[in-house]
């Protein structure tokens, strides 16, 4: 088998030779290094590699090049090799441009020139990128095919589930020639969406559990008793699973949909410690998921928890589709969901033009159209920046008179610098309409209403916790958030069964052995970093609890 390729392009001949020399010295035994001194020559070479079936592991491009700069080259090359790691070579003066490029081409890293000595400033970066490439599942998308209708809510749910669980697939419309053939082969009574696996197995309008099992996701617990059950696979749950498993606890994480939670839908998280170039929510969630698996945690997907019951020293968790598992301790990390927009007509078009969250699977379909986003927090700002790379115009609708109170400063600056993003202050959506999909919105701005043509609306308007299933077992506040620690004893309400000699620790609920972490917890800080920290802290408290049993 041919060696995978590292492609480097720089219009300065001396720099180009130096980069190739450094790469060959370190990686020549396992990789073939191809260099070019013009972006056009490099893209022609990449096209030839694609035709030959070569694998490209990394693309290194200088930012300042004539005719086609480094960002444009990487954008063109990523269409041919979407899994190749993308590194921009830049001078200090062009750092701002490099940072902006992160949102254009999903840049993996940028390197400042010069980087002497390479052992300190060059090789560690390339080592990390090649390691990430080697660990990436590079299965061709044609192995799993999904056929459906453009504005079908069920088709969207299948595609979104696959994408958020990192399952590669090829999407085609039922009226496309290949899609029509697959539907015809499935039979006259075929119910869309149709899922066709690599071995020819077909699923018609599959439910989530069936789809998860078919694509190889784990849905059945390996045993009926664990040291620790983590309910919810967002940052807090993944953090708890990593720390629990790494510290020797027999740990299972149960997730109803996909790992990552709301953070997993973020197109770019730029203020998370240790990722100066930013990281997408899916990338962060995937790394955390693989890390938990490495330490021996068990991850169950597409299993919805609907009951929690203390039985003596055991804490028993029940599933919606039947069955139960038990453990010594449980960490609740179910996170939150975006609130529904209360405007007439919109509920009819959920997943058919109206989306709650980033809905990254829809971004390519938004190309050259106008997109509307509701919200003023970081999630809305990140979506606006990301979708600006596809849409002709992005309208950010903000109910308040400014963004400063709710959005990070770096995002406000990015939005202000984007020519195709317009912020509408003191503006709300008060209605929507259409036929088989969203076609128009009614907007209210300072008391005046107007109707606009709109096919795309993404909503980020606050959060609601999924905790109603807890019933009377675990105490919650008026909004449904789980009460923990000091919040439990305010007003003289002491948790049931807690020893009188002490108050509950910070993350402990009123039920001994049951803790809460992340966004689901009352008074939590709604940040990815704090959620991960709470997940880790909860494991420490689990150890303390187990020591006393």
- Taking the whole predicted model, whether its pTM rises above 0.85 is answered as no
The mean predicted confidence, pLDDT, of the chain is 89
Maximum Cα–Cα distance across the chain: 75
Question: Are the beta carbons of 71 and 88 closer than 8 angstroms?
Answer: yes
b/e per residue 14-35 (b: at least 16 CB within 10 A) = ebbebbbebbeebbeeebbbbb
Q: Which sign, positive or negative, has the C-alpha torsion 46, 50, 54, 60?
A: positive
What is the number of other CB atoms lying within 10 angstroms of the CB of residue 141? 12
R_g over Cα of the chain: 25
Q: In the numeric block, which tokens belong to residue 466?
A: 């999924």
Cα 197 to chain center, whole Å? 24
Q: What is the DSSP string of 22-36?
A: HHHHHHTTT-EEEEE
Beta strands 370-374 and 393-397: pairing type?
parallel
Whether omega before 368 lies within 30 degrees of 0, making that bond cis, reads no
pLDDT at 178: 87
Chain position carrying tokens 């030839």: 48
pLDDT at 492: 46
Confidence of residue 489 (pLDDT cuts 50, 70, 90): low
462 vs 62, more confident = 62
Instruction: Give mean pLDDT, residues 85-89.
Output: 90
Q: In the numeric block, which tokens belong to residue 437?
A: 């999909």
- 126-130, 143-147, 390-394, 419-423, range with the lowest pLDDT: 143-147
Helix H or strand E segment including 338: strand 336-338
Whether omega before 174 lies within 30 degrees of 0, making that bond cis, reads no
pLDDT at 95: 67
Residues 261-285: tens digit of each pLDDT:
877 777 778 888 888 777 888 888 8
Question: Are the beta carbons of 483 and 477 closer than 8 angstroms?
Answer: yes
161 vs 80, more confident = 161
- 33-42, 71-80, 323-332, range with the lowest pLDDT: 71-80
Question: Are the beta carbons of 535 and 236 closer than 8 angstroms?
Answer: yes
Q: What domains sit in the chain, N to C, each tagged with a CATH number?
A: 5-135 (3.40.50.2300), 145-215 (3.40.30.10), 225-337+464-547 (3.50.50.60), 347-461 (3.50.50.60)
Q: In the numeric block, which tokens belong to residue 175?
A: 């009226």
- 5-14, 193-202, 264-273, 437-446, range with the lowest pLDDT: 264-273
Interatomic CA distance for residues 147 and 173, integer angstroms:
6
Cα 212 to chain center, whole Å? 18
Beta strands 56-62 and 5-9: pairing type?
parallel
Q: Give the Cα-Cα-Cα angle 366, 197, 186 (nearest 5 degrees).
A: 90
Q: Which backbone phi and psi does 83 adopt, to 5 degrees?
A: -95, -10
Confidence of residue 36 (pLDDT cuts 50, 70, 90): very high
In this model, does residue 498 exceed pLDDT 60? no
pLDDT at 212: 94
Interatomic CA distance for residues 324 and 105, integer angstroms:
44
In this model, does residue 500 exceed pLDDT 70? no
Interatomic CA distance for residues 347 and 93, integer angstroms:
49
Residues 508-542: tens digit of each pLDDT:
999 999 999 999 999 888 889 999 999 999 999 99
Beta strand spans in 164-313 (E): 170-173, 194-196, 202-204, 225-231, 251-255, 298-301, 305-311
First to last CA, the chain: 57
CA distance to 155, 221, 304, 306, 542, per residue, from 224 (Å): 34, 7, 16, 17, 19
Residues 221-275: tens digit of each pLDDT:
999 999 999 999 999 999 999 999 999 999 999 999 988 887 777 777 888 888 8
Say what percent of the chain tops pLDDT 90: 63
CA distance to 42, 133, 274, per residue, from 125 (Å): 22, 13, 13
Interatomic CA distance for residues 263 and 249, integer angstroms:
26
Residue 41's contacts (CB-CB under 8 Å, 6 or more residues apart) are 9
What is the number of other CB atoms lying within 10 angstroms of the CB of residue 223? 10
Interatomic CA distance for residues 242 and 269, integer angstroms:
20
- 65-79, 138-152, 534-548, range with the lowest pLDDT: 138-152
What strand order describes the sheet that includes 427-434?
427-434, 438-445, 448-453
- CB burial class (10 A; 0-12, 13-18, 19+) of residue 121? middle
Of 65, 60, 145, 154, nearest in space to 110 by CA: 60
Beta strands 457-459 and 370-374: pairing type?
parallel
- Give 270's DSSP letter: -
Of 543, 518, 519, 520, nearest in space to 532 by CA: 518
CA distance to 392, 406, 424, 535, per residue, from 386 (Å): 12, 19, 18, 29
Residues 344-373: tens digit of each pLDDT:
999 999 999 999 987 778 888 899 999 999
């Amino acid at each position: 088998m041919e060696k995978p390729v590292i492609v480097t392009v720089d219009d300065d001949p001396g720099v180009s030779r130096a980069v190739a020399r450094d790469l060959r010295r370190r990686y020549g035994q396992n990789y073939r290094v191809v260099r070019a001194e013009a972006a056009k020559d490099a893209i022609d070479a990449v096209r030839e590699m694609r035709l030959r079936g070569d694998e490209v592991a990394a693309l290194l491009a200088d930012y300042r090049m004539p005719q086609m700069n480094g960002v444009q080259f990487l954008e063109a090359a990523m269409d041919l090799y979407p899994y190749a790691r993308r590194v921009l070579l830049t001078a200090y003066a062009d750092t701002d441009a490099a940072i902006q490029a992160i949102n254009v081409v999903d840049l993996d890293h940028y390197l400042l020139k010069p980087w002497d000595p390479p052992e300190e400033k060059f090789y560690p970066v390339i080592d990390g990128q090649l390691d990430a490439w080697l660990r990436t599942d590079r299965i061709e998308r044609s192995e799993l095919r999904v056929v459906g209708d453009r504005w079908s809510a069920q088709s969207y749910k299948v595609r979104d589930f696959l994408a958020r669980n990192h399952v590669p697939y090829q999407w085609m419309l039922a009226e496309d020639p290949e899609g029509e053939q697959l539907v015809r082969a499935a039979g006259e009574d075929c119910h869309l969406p149709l899922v066709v696996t690599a071995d020819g197995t077909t699923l018609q309008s599959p439910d989530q559990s069936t789809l998860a099992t078919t694509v190889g996701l784990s849905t059945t617990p390996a045993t009926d008793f664990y040291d620790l059950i983590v309910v919810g696979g967002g940052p807090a749950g993944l953090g708890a699973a990593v720390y629990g498993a790494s510290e020797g606890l027999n740990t299972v994480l149960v997730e109803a949909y996909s790992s990552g939670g709301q953070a997993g839908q973020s197109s770019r998280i730029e203020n998370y410690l240790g990722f100066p170039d930013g990281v997408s929510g899916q990338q962060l969630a995937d790394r955390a998921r693989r890390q938990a698996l490495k330490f021996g945690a068990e991850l169950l997907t597409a299993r919805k928890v609907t009951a929690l019951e203390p039985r003596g020293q055991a804490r028993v968790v029940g599933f919606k589709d039947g069955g139960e598992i038990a453990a010594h301790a449980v960490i609740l990390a179910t996170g939150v969901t975006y609130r529904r927009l209360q405007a007439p007509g919109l509920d009819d078009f959920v997943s058919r033009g109206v989306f709650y969250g980033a809905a990254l699977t829809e971004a390519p379909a938004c190309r050259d159209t106008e997109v509307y986003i509701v919200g003023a927090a970081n999630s809305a700002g990140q979506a606006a920046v990301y979708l600006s790379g596809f849409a002709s115009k992005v309208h950010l609708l903000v109910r308040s008179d400014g963004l400063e109170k709710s959005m990070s400063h770096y995002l406000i600056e990015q939005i202000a610098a984007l020519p195709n993003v317009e912020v509408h202050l003191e503006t709300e959506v008060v209605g929507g309409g259409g036929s088989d999909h969203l076609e128009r919105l009614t907007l209210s701005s300072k008391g005046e209403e107007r109707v606009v043509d709109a096919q795309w609306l993404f909503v980020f308007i606050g959060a609601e916790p999924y905790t109603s299933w807890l019933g009377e077992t675990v105490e919650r506040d008026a909004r449904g958030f789980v009460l923990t620690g000091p919040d439990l004893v305010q007003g003289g309400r002491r948790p049931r069964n807690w020893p009188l000699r002490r108050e509950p620790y910070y993350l402990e609920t009123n039920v001994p052995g049951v803790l809460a972490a992340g966004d689901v917890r009352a008074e939590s800080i709604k940040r990815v970093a704090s959620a991960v920290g709470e997940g880790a802290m909860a494991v420490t408290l689990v150890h303390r609890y187990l020591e006393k049993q």
